[in-house]
Amino acid sequence: MAEVITHETEHHHYEPGHEKTLGAKIARWVFTTNHKDIGTLYLWLSFLMFFVAGGMALLIRTELFMPGARFISPEFFNQMTTMHGLIMVFGVVMPALTGLANWQIPLMIGAPDMALPRLNNWSFWLLPFAFLLLISTFFIEGPAPNFGWTFYAPLSTQYGPPSTDFMIFAIHLMGLSSIMGAINIIATIINMRAPGMSYMKMPVFAWSWFITAFLLLGIMPVLAGCVTMMLTDRHFGTSFFNAAGGGDPLLFQHLFWFFGHPEVYVLILPAFGIISEILPTFSRKKIFGYRFMVYAIVVIAVLSYVVWAHHMFTTGIPLASELFFMYATMIIAVPTGVKVFNWTATMFKGSLSFETPMLFAIGFLFMFTFGGFSGLMLAIVPADVQYQDSYFVVAHFHYVLMSGSVYAIMAAIYYWLPKWCGYMYCEKLGKWHFWLTTLGMNITFFVMHFLGLAGMPRRIPDYPLQFEDFNRIATIGAFILGFSQLIFLYNVIKTIRGKNRVKASAEVWEGHHGLEWTVASPAPYHTFSTPPKID
């Protein structure tokens, strides 16, 4: 007698949607190993965290509406800036992109599921507990982490509150989840491509995640080591980051940014892949320069490892180091420029139509490029000395991440949601969402460039009177941006429930990759129930 579990036998015994009890319905989602279910769980977690972190941003902007206001205390303001950054990076963008990878990569490469389905389940379920642990720091003795999302030593080691240890453990859990997800994606793409699907026939989205997964494997252990050194400095008498004991606080910054700058590309490379799927579809053309798009992703990923110290130009690093990192940062703009050129060439003389996914993709193209130009300004050492720690930096990275990563995620959800649930979203609501989001985004962050150039430092709860006008404008824009996301939520729920009553048809995605819409994928199942016995 042998006990075996196969997808086929499980599929035969498990009928999704026909669960009789609430417990069975919960078990279906808790124990699922189906890539579609797990992708859905990632996306809903990201959506929830999006509103949590967005609420924190609105508290920050409310406090900054006028000088001298005391809507929240300075201590709580610092906690909000710390948590907003951590949750947006680790709780919104990364889970959303991983959810999209879970949904789409098996469909795109012709695989029945991810290569390691149970590992897939585990990598998701670590995250809700990590974020519960992180948010629980508001409710334990002492303040929540209050030293900024980059948690520089010695602010987080010698002077960090007791809740810092909870943050360290939460970061370990998030990192473990990312490593397992990356291994799964690499194994899936290498081993489970359909016959005839060579690497150079893969969709650009699959390529972008393939490269991103290797980035994650390279940088997450560095972050884990960094926060472990923080923990031992705090409780075990070591002095990695304590100058009094022979350590160096700058070592923390080197370790953090060696993780942190490739992490920026972890957040944006899959977004590049999404845009490379959407623009050809709504241009009715193949992607321009497919091979160069793939090579550009590889070059960006390699160079991302050698530009970390451009975050540290004001720390007193040697002139030779400053020059090297300045030139390396300039060079990384070249493959990024290749991608922007190729996206533009894809649209050139195409038969364009401007549905919601295309609007978000074009918005991405304009505003991400704008954020890239301000990044080039920050790459120049003498200029960076002036811009450092000002609102100019805040404006730059929000243009890159909000109108970059987040816009691409929104474009992907509008693009693929009809495929996922069988119903079309409301196009009118989608366009309202795009235009209000774009209006709010630019009102909020464009004026921050002027605040930074005028000398307003970031992470302060109060400011001199001369900065009041632009801060008021930014706060109004933030509320437009925040509340327009309720339209997005309503549209998604309405579509999933089939309230639009417009069924999706194959014509919706008459794009350039027929395979991703025709490959059969099994119905959701899980492999945790008692297996059948086979003689």
H/E stretch holding 534 reads: strand 533-534
Catalytic residue among 257, 265, 343, 423, which? 265
Catalytic residue among 233, 263, 277, 384, which? 263
Catalytic residue among 7, 458, 459, 494, which? 458
Catalytic residue among 310, 449, 512, 513, which? 310
> Is 399 tagged catalytic?
no
Contact 119, 180 (CB under 8 A): yes
Task: Identify the CA nearest to 86 among candidates 170, 163, 180, 177.
Answer: 170
Bridge partners, 526 (sequence order): 32
Contact 426, 494 (CB under 8 A): yes
> Is 263 tagged catalytic?
yes
Catalytic residue among 33, 156, 178, 444, which? 178
Catalytic residue among 157, 336, 369, 405, which? 336
Catalytic residue among 276, 369, 403, 475, which? 276
Q: Is the dihedral of CA 484, 486, 492, 495 positive or negative?
A: negative
Three-state secondary structure call for residue 533? strand
Catalytic residue among 261, 285, 513, 526, which? 261
Catalytic residue among 254, 285, 339, 449, which? 339
Cα–Cα distance measured from residue 149 to residue 93, given in angstroms and rounded to the nearest whole number: 15
Catalytic residue among 149, 420, 490, 517, which? 149
Residue-wise DSSP of 306-335: G-GGGG-TTTT--HHHHHHHHHHHHHHHHH
> Is 310 tagged catalytic?
yes
> Is 149 tagged catalytic?
yes
Three-state secondary structure call for residue 273? helix
Cis peptide preceding 143, ω within 30 of 0: no
> Is 336 tagged catalytic?
yes
Catalytic residue among 37, 113, 355, 384, which? 113
Cα–Cα distance measured from residue 174 to residue 276, given in angstroms and rounded to the nearest whole number: 28
Catalytic residue among 46, 82, 177, 390, which? 177
Catalytic residue among 28, 36, 84, 512, which? 84
H/E stretch holding 2 reads: strand 2-3
Task: Identify the CA nearest to 346 among candidates 270, 409, 414, 292.
Answer: 292
> Is 261 tagged catalytic?
yes
Catalytic residue among 35, 193, 311, 449, which? 311
Task: Identify the CA nearest to 243 among candidates 154, 114, 178, 179.
Answer: 154
> Is 254 tagged catalytic?
no
Catalytic machinery residues: 84, 113, 149, 177-178, 261, 263, 265, 276, 310-311, 336, 339, 458
